[in-house]
């Protein structure tokens, strides 16, 4: 948005023309809290659970796959699907001002999570996007309280003012950003693989301790590598430069 008084965004998909509405989040959603569980409860397999700390490391705008588990018979707050979660505590106000849409049903939502269930005319993915970015994110930052540990509760979230268009436009915006996130994630995975490949080459294209040749060599190179102290090479290079300049 260009400024907080604008009723429409600067960039808009074709076919959408109406003004965006502006309401307090408390008028558009119901609120609850997660319950129980910590890192000590996690096991390799079992019932999927989202811990608030995972929002800082494992998840982004949309959560449709959970990678942490607790015992199968565990009880607690269960996602009905399409909620928005916001961490209730964190190290800084900027960190805590984030949200994710939980698409999967049946996932346990652990303690220190604010759970927002939007009304039917508000997309959970769109809501997660707008309260994690721009003016709404700044508003969450202002409402967070604390020093060493920062807290943000549902009572503060209810007073956050959000702007939103028709549900159809919300879905169009959410789909566009989700596609960009998927593309970024794909390139990030490629980036990570290339870094691993580079690390492997650096280990194998140079001789190891006590070796005279590397493990991998380009075709046509067979001689042993020389081993000299760097100081002797520098002195030799300096002498050659003086000879060329004389």
Six token digits for residue 14? 């074709």
Structural domain includes residue 213: no
Instruction: Characterize 34-58 residue by residue with b for buried, 16 or more Cβ atoms within 10 angstroms of its Cβ, and e for exposed.
Output: bbebeeebeeeebbbbbbbbbbeee
Structural domain includes residue 105: yes
What is the residue range of 90's domain?
A: 21-165
The pLDDT, as a whole number, for residue 133 is 86
Structural domain includes residue 122: yes
Which alpha helices (H) appear in the chain, and where do they start and end? 54-57, 93-96, 124-131, 134-143, 154-158, 167-204, 230-245
SS3 115: strand
CB neighbours of residue 21 within 10 Å: 14
The pLDDT, as a whole number, for residue 4 is 55
Closest by Cα among 64, 36, 62 to 51: 36
Decide the pairing of beta strands 100-102 and 62-63.
parallel
The pLDDT, as a whole number, for residue 2 is 44
Structural domain includes residue 51: yes
Structural domain includes residue 178: no
Q: What is the mean pLDDT of each run of 10 residues along the chain (246 residues)?
A: 65 91 95 93 95 90 92 94 94 90 94 95 95 87 88 93 94 93 91 94 90 92 88 70 60
Six token digits for residue 100? 């994710």
Structural domain includes residue 110: yes
Give the Cα separation of 7 and 214 in Å (integer): 64
Structural domain includes residue 246: no
What is the number of domains present in the chain?
A: 1
Structural domain includes residue 2: no
For residue 129, the domain's CATH number is: 3.90.220.20
The answer to whether the pTM exceeds 0.85 is no
């Amino acid at each position: 948005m260009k400024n907080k008084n604008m009723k429409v965004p600067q960039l808009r998909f074709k076919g959408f023309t109406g003004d965006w509405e502006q309401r307090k989040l408390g008028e558009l959603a119901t609120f609850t809290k997660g319950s129980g569980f910590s890192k000590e409860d996690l096991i390799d397999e079992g019932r999927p659970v989202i811990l608030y700390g995972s929002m800082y490391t494992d998840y982004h705008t949309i959560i449709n796959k959970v990678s942490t588990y607790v015992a199968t018979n565990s009880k607690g707050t269960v996602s009905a699907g399409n909620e928005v979660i916001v961490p209730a505590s964190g190290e800084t106000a900027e960190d805590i001002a984030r949200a994710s849409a939980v698409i999967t049903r049946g996932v346990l939502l652990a303690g220190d999570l604010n759970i927002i269930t939007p009304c039917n005319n508000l997309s959970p993915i769109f809501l997660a996007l707008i309260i994690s970015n721009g003016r709404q994110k700044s508003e969450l930052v202002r409402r967070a309280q604390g020093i060493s540990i920062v807290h943000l509760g549902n009572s503060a979230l209810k007073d956050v003012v959000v702007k939103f268009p028709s549900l159809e436009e919300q879905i169009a915006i959410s789909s566009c950003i989700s596609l960009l996130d998927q593309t970024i994630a794909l390139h990030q995975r490629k980036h990570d693989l290339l870094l691993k490949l580079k690390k492997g080459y650096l280990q194998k294209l140079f001789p190891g301790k006590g070796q005279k040749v590397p493990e991998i060599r380009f075709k046509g190179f067979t001689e042993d590598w020389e081993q000299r102290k760097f100081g002797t090479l520098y002195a030799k290079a300096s002498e050659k430069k003086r000879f060329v300049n004389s």
